[in-house]
Amino acid sequence: MTITLEPLIAHRGAAPYAPENTFASFEKARELGARSIEFDVMMSADGELFVFHDANLKRTSNGCGEFGDSSSEYIASLDAGSWFSQQFRGEKIPTLKETLRWFAHHSMHANIELKPLPGRIDDTTTAVLSCINQCWSSDAPLPLLSSFNEQALLLCSRLLPELPLGLLLLNWKNDWLSRLQNVNGVSLHLPKHVVNKERIQMVKNEGYALCVYTVNSKKWARRFWEWGADAIISDYPDLMVN
């Protein structure tokens, strides 16, 4: 399986301009010209899927405690905007179902980062796949699902083999190819500080897409593209517009 990625993927929406992983941030990214958005998915204590990044609620909401220990009712009640600016007071933490419907309505490409908590890999993964099956438009290309968790990716490849998968790495790994092959991935996602022209060409020569995160400099974005990167993930979609 191969995949064609949008050259720019907006990181959690347009995070410098609106609270990350909210509809306000997604709308801002779209307004700034992004056609693809990366967002994170986690599961509440009672099994609801929400678009959220941190293990703890404190940084990006007015809640407290661990996300995985919190009920869906509590998470849905939180203000996810005031921490950023009073302009966004009352912004909610979206569910995955709501988010997939928003993407379908706007014909946007999605990069879903799956973030299963310890001990909940199978539950979170199967729930995300079920939600994609229920809520994603059959007329649209499937979203790209990426994760640092290789067990989750392997389960995805077994349960929904047509879903394109991306392997996220924190550092360069010499065994990247066997890891990617093991999970039946289509793309390798690397942090900008480990990416160079030779490594991009190495990945491309093996037939995989290469995505670089998180690139907030137009100069470096252009350089990565010139070297052959398929996509960059950026906090600043407006800085990437030619």
**The pLDDT of residue 112 is above 70:** yes
Could you check whether the bond before residue 126 is cis, i.e. omega within 30 degrees of 0? no
Tell me if residue 193 is catalytic.
no
Tell me if residue 11 is catalytic.
yes
**What is the tens place of the pLDDT at every residue in 188-219?**
999 999 999 999 999 999 999 999 999 999 99
* CATH topology classification for 8-240: TIM Barrel (3.20.20)
Q: What is the pLDDT of residue 241?
A: 64
Spell out the residues 6+ positions from residue 205 whose beta carbon is closer than 8 angstroms to its own: none
What percentage of residues in the chain have a pLDDT greater than 90? Answer: 94
Mean pLDDT of 39-64: 98
Q: What is the pLDDT of residue 139?
A: 86
Question: Per-residue b/e over 30-65, b at no fewer than 16 CB within 10 Å?
Answer: bebebbbbbbbbbbbbeebbbbbbbeebeebbebee
Reading the block at residue 34, the tokens are 């992004």
Q: How far is CA 139 from CA 40, 135, 136, in A?
A: 23, 12, 9
Mean pLDDT of 95-104: 96
**Structure letter (DSSP) for residue 117:** P
Reading the block at residue 164, the tokens are 């394109």
Rounded to whole angstroms, the Cα distance separating 189 from 44 reads 26
pLDDT band with cut points at 50, 70 and 90 for residue 242: low
Q: Which of 11, 106, 189, 193 is catalytic?
A: 11
Q: Which of 53, 105, 189, 193 is catalytic?
A: 53
**What is the tens place of the pLDDT at every residue in 148-182?**
999 999 999 999 999 999 999 999 999 999 999 99
Domain ranges for the chain, please list them: 8-240
